[in-house]
Amino acid sequence: MNSFTELANALKSRKNVLLLTGYLCDEMELNGRRLVDYAADIALKLNLPVAATGNTVVALKERGVRAGKKVLAEMVNLTRFPHWGDPVITERPEVMVFIGYPPGVLKPLLPAVKGAETIVLGNVCLKEATFSLPDASLSQYRLNLESLIGELGGF
Amino acid sequence: MPEKKTIRLGNSIIDVEEVVRDGRGIEDIVIDAMESDFQEARYRSFNQKLFPFADAADLAEWDGFLVRQYPPLYTGSPGTCSDCPRGPCDLEAGKGLCGLEKAACQARLSLRRACRGSLSQFMDSRELLNYAVKVFGPEHPVEWGKMHDRSDASHIGFMTAIWPRCLADLDRVLTYVEEQLNKLLVASFTGLDASELEQMVLHAGSVLLVAMNVSELVKMNCFGFINASNEDIMQMINWPPVNILGGLGNVEKEKPVLTFLGDNFLAAWCAIKQLQEENRAGQVEICGIGPAGHDIVRFYDQCRVLAPMTQARKIVRYGISDVIVASAACIDLNFLPDAVAAGTKVIWTGREKNIGLPDYTDEPVAKIVAELLTGIPGAWIRHMEKAAAVAVELVQKVSRSKEHLLSEDAAKKEAKRCRADCDCCHGVCPNGLLIGQQLRKLPAEGVGALKEIEEGCYLCGRCEGVCPEKIPLEDIIIAVLNGRVEEDKLKMRAGRGPVARVETTAWAFGSMWGNCPGIFHILGCGDARMREELGWIAYNLTWRNAIVFTAGCAAGEIGRYFNREKQQYVYEQFGTEAQVRNLINLGSCTACSHIVDQALKWPRTGSGIAHYGNFAETADVEYNVIAPTLIVWGALPDRMYALVAAWVRAGMSVIIGPNSGFGWNRYLMGNKWQWEDWWTYTTFGGQKRYVEPSPPGMIIPVETKEEALTQALSVAMRPVEIRDGRQIRLDTYVEFSETFFKEFPDDWQLFVRSDWELPLRYKSRLLKELKEKFGWEIDRLRVKRARHPDGRLMEIGEFNKEYSSMAMSITRLKRMIARGSEPGGKEENK
Ligand code: SF4
Ligand code: SF4
């Protein structure tokens, strides 16, 4: 994917996309706006179910997002079993989108995801993902997220 | 055995060869163990086997169950393997030339990591024992404490069947550890079976605990470490007292400061003895970093515990010490440049390697002191008494300036060079700290802008390494630390040593029937993101009536937690006996072995299980009935990796975090949504019986402290526990989830076996969910019909008959099905 338009189209066209939100959503601020606001925009625009890890479920629900409290490693763990079963998304996800995780947390987990594509919306490019946003300063990261959210269209 | 050996137990004559496969050469140990703790009733009912001097393969029946139930989740990717000269082989592309598969390669790396961790402890234990034998002689007696008897479990007993009486016995024990670690290390380069290798990881953990047991016995019996088991049981609630001060803010900086760092406390013991003999102890401030600090306070309560090992570079770089006496530890840190920068003199006592200092071992004390005073940064001295004598002499003569610290103005000037279009430092920080973002605020806000960064930083140096502007980030972090030194305080109890079975008997019943959410163990190496998180975790569990044990560096970090309302440190708020609502510090890192050992004493009390050479049977009961949960908060060193394996093998689940927990690359988790995966044998009858997924995982990494608490409860429930215990655990699980996440946990219903177990304060809401969300049939406040996981709606009585195992006798080991009671067996046909 070479542009935010392509990324947005890919996200819109796929079935069973699961958004996972990590603890940095609660802690990171990009020019005065919390990362959880960006995550909520993405979830709401795509009407995605959210596996909210760390403590992010509270802020996401306050923003009207369809989120359930989950544990990151449990979500990755489930992808390797034949039976999915977790109620956050009824069928096994085809795409898992990660936002709000430091690279040190996510990098080792990505190769362990089985049977799903992985998209990382962070400020460090992770080559272990199927697709990852590029390395960016925090100000560029904000612009990247805004571009992506813009391409996702209206609510 | 040369001649047939039998022992008489009650009405039974037991042929030892029937119980021990090959007892040649260890007859004395086997007979002694069987005569003192073997249980006739269990022998008559079960096919009991003892494994003195156990190899990994001897415990494969138990380890195999764990690895099957919780198949390792490997993260990261090994890429290529270069373990043999035929490599490198690209394992992503397929098997290696030797047949090695990717998962097995990951298991090899896991085993190597566990071995590294265990070996680092073994080296320390061996050195300590050798020293003790030299000074006190091989016949010097050892004992666990006056309250302990032959039925008191220890890892020495589990793995070797020895009841140690003197230092020579401990030598025999350490020879076993050495042999096991050698075997495991070889297997980590040659093994091909992933499952077998992972089972060996568990074994590496157990032998680590054996080495720790040895160290603890030597410390208590040769070096005057306190041991509560020798004290009056009526005093135990407040013994030892909360009188240990620590943190940089409690150091009397006007005095010469002599700091001991690392695993080895011997130099400190010699130095303090010398100072006391010369009546000069009060003139020198003694401090400890890492295990040394927690050891010293067990024989010298004036020592200041400064910080955990992972924070050692920060403390050394800050430069509070005039002299540091250091040895190897759980983590390898290159702290010499920091000491040089701070003008602190270093005496390195490690025997296995040097850190770049001239070897002065054979020089006279006066000459070493003179040369240290005239310029050399430090000396390598492999002789404890001499290292201590040099340190005592030197610390009173050396004077050190504080000029190495960056001033606030200089920090501001440096910070101005930070580029808004960069943030490379954030990308590499293992704790995900937003360094650049905060640094850019420093010129306007002062060093306080990096307060939280400094808290979460353990000076790994990665950020400075990638900074394109070459900003001295480490110096800036230290400048921030300088700004808060006076607040850096902790207060704690010294470690009390092992817990006798008589005490665990009390907690066993309190925790099963009482109003206690469980037994929790807390460890951590100091690399969590916020300083008070460990104390917060300990406080939140203890005041809810849990029994909380800690040891090692975590014990000191917990002591930072201060209740501002009550103006009390957390240890001052709770007692310290092994009872409900107590917070119990057992000692330094080696005292971690006491935590596992006391947990494993319960199967002897509750089920009459002998422990000598009998690990699998003990762990099986522990896992099914009442296993405590370990939380590891800040989990960096390899030794912690091996320690966690020991906990898992003992049937106890482990929650690890925050960020460093994700660097472990191997977790043990099942699929709680796949109900057919969760079953057990009934002990009497041997039928396969489905049970709830408790615990759903054995090693689970989490991101936040709130997740840690909630997950700790999710794994605290066990299939055999009676309903009172299940109710309070469910209550606390739901409470944590509601408090932190404003919703019920997603899996609480999996653990409900009867409406009696529903916590009263949530009962009507939970019943409503059972009815509306999960299709159970509810009649006012009662469950009328329950939904079996296979979808059937069943009368609650039928449900209980068919599903779960409340208060039943179950086992995961086929061998532990009662003799003749298996389907078709003679007992069943009666
Ligand atoms: S030195 Fe501290 S701030 Fe820098 S990367 Fe390491 S932990 Fe993070
Ligand atoms: S790497 Fe250096 S220049 Fe870049 S943001 Fe961090 S401190 Fe600033």
Strand partners, B140: none
pLDDT at B829: 41
In a structure prediction context, what are the per-residue pLDDT tens digits for chain A, which is 155 residues long?
778 999 999 999 999 999 999 999 999 999 899 999 999 999 999 999 999 999 999 999 999 999 999 999 999 999 999 999 999 998 999 999 999 999 999 999 999 999 999 999 999 999 999 999 999 999 999 999 999 999 998 76
pLDDT at B742: 98
Alpha helices in B223-362 (DSSP H): 266-277, 291-296, 312-318, 336-342
Tell the residue nearest (CA) to atom 2 of ligand 1. B457
Asked whether the bond before B701 is cis by omega within 30 degrees of 0, the reply is no
Strand A33-34 relative to strand A29-30, pairing: antiparallel
Q: Which of B703, B742, B773 to mutate to test the interface with A (most CBs of A within 10 A)?
A: B703
Strand B697-701 relative to strand B666-669, pairing: antiparallel
d(C-alpha B652, C-alpha B549), whole Å: 14
B423 alpha carbon, closest ligand: 2
Tell the residue nearest (CA) to atom 5 of ligand 1. B429
d(C-alpha B746, C-alpha A92), whole Å: 17
Strand, coil or helix: B135: helix
B461 alpha carbon, closest ligand: 1
- The number of beta carbons lying within 10 Å of the beta carbon of residue B413 is 13
Considering only residues 67 to 106 of chain A, which have any Cβ-Cβ distance to chain B shorter than 8 Å? 68-74, 76-78, 80-81, 83-88, 102-105
CB contact under 8 A, B701 and A55: no
d(C-alpha B130, C-alpha B215), whole Å: 11
pLDDT at B824: 66
* pLDDT tens figures, B491-508: 999 999 999 998 888 777
Q: What is the DSSP string of B576-635?
A: -SSSTTEEEE--SGGGHHHHHHHHTTHHHHHH----TT-HHHHHHHHHHHT--EEEEES-
pLDDT at B461: 95
Strand, coil or helix: A98: strand
Nearest by CB to A57, which of B423, B427, B741?
B741
List of chain B residues whose C-beta atoms are within 8 Å of the C-beta of residue A102: 426, 429, 431-432, 659
Name the DSSP class of A120: E
Output phi, psi for B781, to 5 deg. Answer: -100, 20
Nearest by CB to B427, which of A61, A72, A124?
A124
pLDDT at B828: 45
pLDDT at B165: 97
Tell me the domain boundaries of chain B.
243-395, 408-487
pLDDT at A155: 65
CB contact under 8 A, A123 and B707: no
**Domains defined along chain A, listed by start:** 4-153 (3.40.50.1220)
Query: Is the pTM here over 0.95, yes or no?
Result: yes
What separation in Å is there between the alpha carbon of A149 and the centre of ligand 2? 27
Nearest by CB to A105, which of B73, B659, B667?
B659
d(C-alpha B88, C-alpha B79), whole Å: 10
What separation in angstroms does the CA of A125 have from each of A134, A140, B288, B698? 5, 13, 41, 31
Taking the CA of residue B457 and the nearest CA in chain A, the distance in Å comes to: 15
Residue B238 CA to chain centroid, in angstroms? Answer: 24
* Mean of pLDDT over chain A: 96
| B770 CB-near residues (< 8 Å, 6+ apart) | B749, B752, B776, B778, B783
> Is the separation of the CB atoms in B391 and B347 below 8 Å?
yes
Q: Which of A21, A93, A100, A24 is nearest to A53 (CA)?
A: A21
Nearest by CB to A68, which of B432, B437, B746?
B746
| A117 CB-near residues (< 8 Å, 6+ apart) | A94, A95, A96, A130, A131
Residue of A nearest to B452 (CA): A27
Q: What is the CA radius of gyration of chain B?
A: 27
Output phi, psi for B630, to 5 deg. Answer: -105, 130
Strand A117-120 relative to strand A95-99, pairing: parallel
* CATH for B243-395 (3.40.50.300, 3.40.50.2030, 3.30.565.10, 2.60.120.10): 3.40.50.2030
Output phi, psi for B760, to 5 deg. Answer: -55, -40
Tell the residue nearest (CA) to atom 7 of ligand 1. B457
List of chain B residues whose C-beta atoms are within 8 Å of the C-beta of residue A123: 423, 426-427
pLDDT at B1: 44
Q: Which residues of chain B have pLDDT under 70?
A: 1-4, 402, 824-830
d(C-alpha B167, C-alpha B141), whole Å: 7
B439 alpha carbon, closest ligand: 2
| A112 part of contact set with chain B, CB < 8 Å | yes
Output phi, psi for B140, to 5 deg. Answer: -60, 125
The upper half-sphere exposure of residue B273, i.e. CA atoms within 13 Å in the direction of its Cβ, equals: 13
Which of B460, B464, B530, B660, when mutated, tests ligand 1's pocket best, judged by the most ligand atoms within 8 Å of its CB? B460
Q: Which of B552, B647, B630, B592 is nearest to B310 (CA)?
A: B552
Q: What is the DSSP string of B619-688?
A: HHHHHHHT--EEEEES--SHHHHHHHHHHHHTT--EEEESGGGGGS-EEEE--TT-GGG-EEEETTT--E
pLDDT at B389: 98
Residue of B nearest to A142 (CA): B421
> Is the separation of the CB atoms in B79 and B100 below 8 Å?
no
Residues with CB under 6 A from ligand 2: B 418-419, 422-425, 435-436, 439, 466-469, 471, 473
pLDDT at A140: 96
d(C-alpha B588, C-alpha B293), whole Å: 8
Tell the residue nearest (CA) to atom 4 of ligand 1. B463
CB contact under 8 A, B662 and A22: no
d(C-alpha B758, C-alpha B770), whole Å: 11
d(C-alpha B569, C-alpha B491), whole Å: 6
pLDDT at B266: 97
pLDDT at B587: 98
CB contact under 8 A, B703 and A105: yes
CB contact under 8 A, A55 and B707: yes
